[in-house]
Amino acid sequence: MTTLYYYHKDFLQHDTGSGHPESPNRLRAINAALEGVEFDSLSRISPQLRQDILKQIRLVHTQEMLDKVLQDVPPDCYISLDPDTQLSEGSAHAALLAVSTVCDAVDKICNNKANNAFCAVRPPGHHAEPRQSMGFCLFNNVAIAAEYARKVYKIKRIAIVDFDVHHGNGTQAAFYNNAEVFYASSHEMPNYPGTGNPSETGVGNIVNVPLASGETGQQFREKYSDKILPALKQFNPDLILLSAGFDAHKEDPLSTIQLTQDDYQWLTQEIVSIANSCCEGKIISVLEGGYNLDALADSVSTHIAVLMK
């Protein structure tokens, strides 16, 4: 199985400031974990900025929001978009490159150049709403990838599975009334951003599964087995996108959920199995959260190893 791995050093240019959990060191840790011989067959791609990228961003976001993210930031300065989200001199370029990356992954997977892909991008995206950047996120990478696949490749049924420990309010907002896009999220409640109640079902295309504080890997697996995985299989997607956040790990500082890398391995195996039966294994996994560097590196490398099988 051919697995693509996307990374570019320019993602490190998004400077969030001293002490911010969403730091460039996250990608450095992931890359270090992928240096072993078991990852030699990984097809590594350094993405390029696309000429049409603003057009693709407008599939999800307003021009006003786009202008805010692309504003000039003087060297060694920061502009806050919300209490958690700020721009540095290199942020706009990194954000545009992240969206370019996921669109290129859609091109490769939809043209059968590979079976699946992992996009090691930053800034992350799933909190970014159509009109507002927030929660460490500038543009909603996964939502844009979904709309790009729908518009360019006429993909009819796209599933997004979001296992970041925080609810992907931005992705849900983008597709709340769109029956052709399935969105499922497991997330700690209470936790940021406060959305994601089970009653939020869209037009029957949204499945929200809250995790109580301190839930174990076994409880996590039971909820996926009972709720999300059957709904995903029933939706019968033509393409699966993953908002791959690894901050439900027991070592992560931003949650109390008690997952280990074995739980991420199990979930990845389950999703790959469904993808193989529904959509010829077509999966595009996009990095979201994960803030303990060792746990993030171990979890991502385990996730990618399953994709490569």
Neighbouring CB atoms inside 10 A of 44's CB total 13
Q: Residue 191 has what DSSP assignment?
A: -
Is 187 annotated as catalytic? no
State both tokens at 287: 């990095």
Q: What are phi and psi of 164, to 5 degrees?
A: -60, 150
Number of residues written out for the chain: 309
Note whether 161 and 182 are within 8 A (CB). Answer: no
Q: Residue 38 has what DSSP assignment?
A: G
Residue 242: helix, strand or coil by DSSP?
strand
Question: Active site residue: 127, 166, 167, 249, which one?
Answer: 127
| Separation of alpha carbons 52 and 298, rounded Å | 35
Using the structure block, give the residue that is written with the tokens 């929660």. Answer: 135
Q: Angle CA(124)–CA(94)–CA(297) in degrees, nearest 5?
A: 50
Angle, helices 261-278 vs 293-308, to 10°: value is 30
Residue 184: helix, strand or coil by DSSP?
strand
| Separation of alpha carbons 239 and 236, rounded Å | 9
Using the structure block, give the residue that is written with the tokens 């001293």. Answer: 18
| Separation of alpha carbons 47 and 7, rounded Å | 7
- Residues assigned a catalytic role: 127
